[in-house]
Structure 1
Amino acid sequence: MPKQQYQLEDRHFRDQNGNDAVWRNTIEPNSEAAESHCAATPSVFRRRLPQVLANLVTNLLVLELCTPVAFSTVLIAALLNAKQDLSVTNDQASLLGSIAFICQPIGSLISGIIVEFLGRKWSMLIVNIPFLVGWLLYCFSNSITTLYVANIILGIGIGFMEAPIMTYTAETCQPEIRDTLISISGVVAQISSFLVYLTSNVTDWRTQAGLNAALPIIAFLYITQMPETPMWLLSHGRHDEAERALCWLRGWVTPDLVREEFNQLVKYNKEANKIRQRTRITHGNDTDTVHTTSTVCANEHHENNAFEDDESVQHGTLSSQTLSCNPTLHVSQHDEDMPHSCLNKWMELLEPPTLRPLFLVISYFFLLQLGGISSIKPFMIHVFQELGLADAASWITVGSAVVGILGSGCTVFTVHWLGKRFLSIIAMLGCAVACLLLGTYSYVVLQPGGASQYATKWLPLVLIIILYFFNSIMAEIPWILLGEVFPFRTRGIASGLSSAICYVFMFTASISYLHLEQNLKLYGAFWLFCFINSIGVAFLYWKMPETDGKSLAEIEEYFTSGIRTCHFSIL
Structure 2
Amino acid sequence: MLVNFISSIVKVQSDIMEQIGASCISLNNIRNDEENETKTEKLIASSKSLSSHEENISLKGLFPQIIASLIAAAFHIGNGMAMSYSSVVISQLEKPDSDIKPTTGEKALIASILILVAPLASVFCGVIMDKIGRINTIKTAMVPAVVGWCLTALAKNTTVLITGRALVGIASAFGTSPAIVYIAEISNPKMRMSFLQLCPTYVALGMIFIYLGGWFMHWRLLAWVSNVFAILPCLAVFFIPESPMWLIMKGRVKEAKNSLNWLHKYQPPIPGKDETFADIQFKLLKKEQEENSEKSKNKGTVMDIAKEFLKPTGYKPLIILLPLFFCQHFSGVYITMFYSITFIEEAGTNVSGYFASIMIGVIRLVMASCNIFVLKYMNRRTTIMWSCLGMAVCMFTSGLFTLWIKEGQTTAKWVPVAALLLYVVFSVVGLMFLPFMVIPELFPQEIRGTGYTIGYSLSTAFMFASLESYYFLNETLGGATNLQWFFAIVCLAGLVYTYMFLPETKGKKLIDITTNFQKGWLYIGKSHKEDNVNNNV
Give the TM-score of the pair, scaled to structure 2.
0.73
Is the CA contact 2:402–2:481 (under 8 Å) kept in the aligned structure 1? yes
Q: Structure 1 residues 440 and 42 mapped into 2: Cα distance closer, same or farther (>3 Å)?
A: closer
Q: Work out whether 1:462 is the aligned partner of 2:418.
A: yes
AA at the equivalent of 2:158: I
Please give the residue correspondences for 1:458-537 in structure 2 after superposition, counting only pairs within 5 Å: 458-474=414-430, 475-477=432-434, 500-521=457-478, 522-537=480-495
SS of match in other structure, 2:100 = coil
Match of 1:294 in 2: none
- Identify the match of residue 86 of structure 1 among 77, 80, 100: 100
Q: Give the AA of the match of 2:209.
A: L
Deviation at 1:515, TM superposition (A): 0.8
Q: Please list the CA deviations of residues 509-544 of structure 1 after superposition, one character each: whole Å capped at 9, or x if unmatched.
A: 111011112222334433332343334445656424
- Residue 396 of structure 1 and its aligned partner are, at CA, apart by 1.7
2:365 is the counterpart of 1:405: yes
In structure 2, the residue matched to 1:276 is 296
Q: 1:147 aligns with which of 153, 157, 161?
A: 161
Report the Cα distance in structure 2 between the residues aligned to 1:477 and 1:508, rounded to whole angstroms: 20
Which residue, out of 257, 268, 291, partners 2:277?
Answer: 257
- Determine the C-alpha separation between the residues in 2 that align with 1:467 and 1:248: 43
The 10-residue stretch of structure 1 (557-566 or 529-538) with the greater mean CA deviation from structure 2:
557-566
Q: 1:140 offset after TM fit, Å?
A: 2.3
Answering whether residue 332 of structure 2 is matched by residue 372 of structure 1, we say: yes
Give the residue type in structure 2 aligned to 1:526.
Q
- 1:41-52 to 2 correspondence within 5 Å? 44-52=58-66
5+ residue gaps in structure 1?
A: 1-33, 285-343, 548-553
Aligned length: 465
Identical amino acids, percent of aligned pairs: 22
Instruction: Summarize the alignment of residues 167-566 of structure 1 with structure 2, pairs less than 5 Å apart.
Output: 167-251=181-265, 256-280=276-300, 283=303, 366-390=326-350, 392-412=352-372, 414-418=374-378, 423-442=383-402, 445=404, 452-454=408-410, 456-474=412-430, 475-477=432-434, 500-521=457-478, 522-537=480-495, 542-546=502-506
Judged with a 3 Å threshold, the aligned counterparts in structure 2 of structure 1 residues 55 and 360 are, in CA distance, closer, same or farther, namely: farther
Which of 73, 77, 82 does residue 63 from structure 1 map onto?
77
Corresponding letter in the other structure for 2:194: T
Q: Which one has a bigger Cα radius of gyration?
A: 1
Cα pair 1:421 1:544 within 8 Å, conserved: yes
- Deviation of 1:196 (Å): 0.8
CA deviation after TM superposition for structure 1 residue 141, in Å: 2.3
Distance 2:529 2:247 in 1: 29
Query: Compared with structure 1, are the counterparts of its residues 403 and 257 closer, same or farther at alpha carbon in structure 2 (3 Å cutoff)?
Result: closer
Give the CA deviation at 1:130.
0.9
Q: 1:371 to 1:493 in 2, by over 3 A?
A: same
1:3-22 equivalent positions in 2, closer than 5 A = none
| Structure 1 residues 200 and 282: alpha-carbon distance in aligned structure 2, compared to 1, 3 A threshold | closer
Instruction: Kindly state the Cα deviation for residue 347 of structure 1 after the two structures are TM-superposed.
Output: 9.9
1:272–1:489 Cα contact (<8 Å) kept: no
Cα pair 1:166 1:483 within 8 Å, conserved: no
Equivalent-residue separation in structure 2 for 1:409 and 1:109 (angstroms):
28
Residues 442 and 140 of structure 1, relative CA distance in 2, 3 Å threshold: closer
**2 CA distance for matches of 1:353 and 1:245?**
40
Conserved 8 A contact 2:212-2:358: yes
Q: Are the equivalent residues in 2 in contact too, given 1:109–1:497 (CA < 8 A)?
A: no
CA separation of 1:217 and 1:404: change in aligned 2, threshold 3 A: same
Q: Letter of the 1:257 partner, please give it.
A: F
Q: Which runs of 4+ in 1 moved over 6 A?
A: 346-364, 479-496, 554-567
Partner of 2:532: 569
Distance 2:331 2:264 in 1: 40
Confirm or deny: 8 A CA contact 1:81 1:89 kept in the other structure. Answer: no
Question: Following the alignment from structure 1 to structure 2, what is the Cα–Cα distance between the partners of residues 471 and 143?
Answer: 35
SS at match of 2:334: helix
Distance 1:567 1:153 in 2: 47
Give, in whole Å, the separation in 2 of the partners of 1:49 and 1:357: 40
Amino acid of the structure 2 residue aligned with 1:83: D
Tell me what 1:307 maps to: none
Which residue identity is paired with 1:108? S
Q: Which amino acid aligns with 2:419?
A: L
Q: Does the aligned pair in 2 maintain the 1:357–1:486 contact within 8 Å?
A: yes
Contact 1:105 1:156 in 2 (8 A): no
TM-score by length of 1: 0.69
Contact 1:110 1:496 in 2 (8 A): no
* CA RMSD of superposed structures (Å): 4.2
State the 1:147 CA deviation. Answer: 0.7
The verdict on how the C-alpha distance between 1:142 and 1:218 changes in structure 2, with shifts beyond 3 A counting, is same
For 1:134 and 1:245, how far apart are their aligned partners in 2?
Answer: 33
Structure-2 change in CA distance of 1:107 and 1:515 (3 Å):
same
Alpha-carbon contact 2:138-2:176 (below 8 Å) kept: no
- Which moved further from structure 2: 51-60 or 352-361? 352-361
Query: Residue 532 and residue 266 in structure 1: after superposition, are their counterparts in 2 closer, same or farther (change >3 A)?
Result: farther
Unpaired segments ≥5 residues, structure 2: 1-48, 270-274, 518-526
CA deviation after TM superposition for structure 1 residue 243, in Å: 4.0
Change (3 A) 1:515 1:283: closer
Secondary structure, in 3 states, of the residue corresponding to 2:190? helix
Structure 1 residue 151 displacement after superposition:
1.1
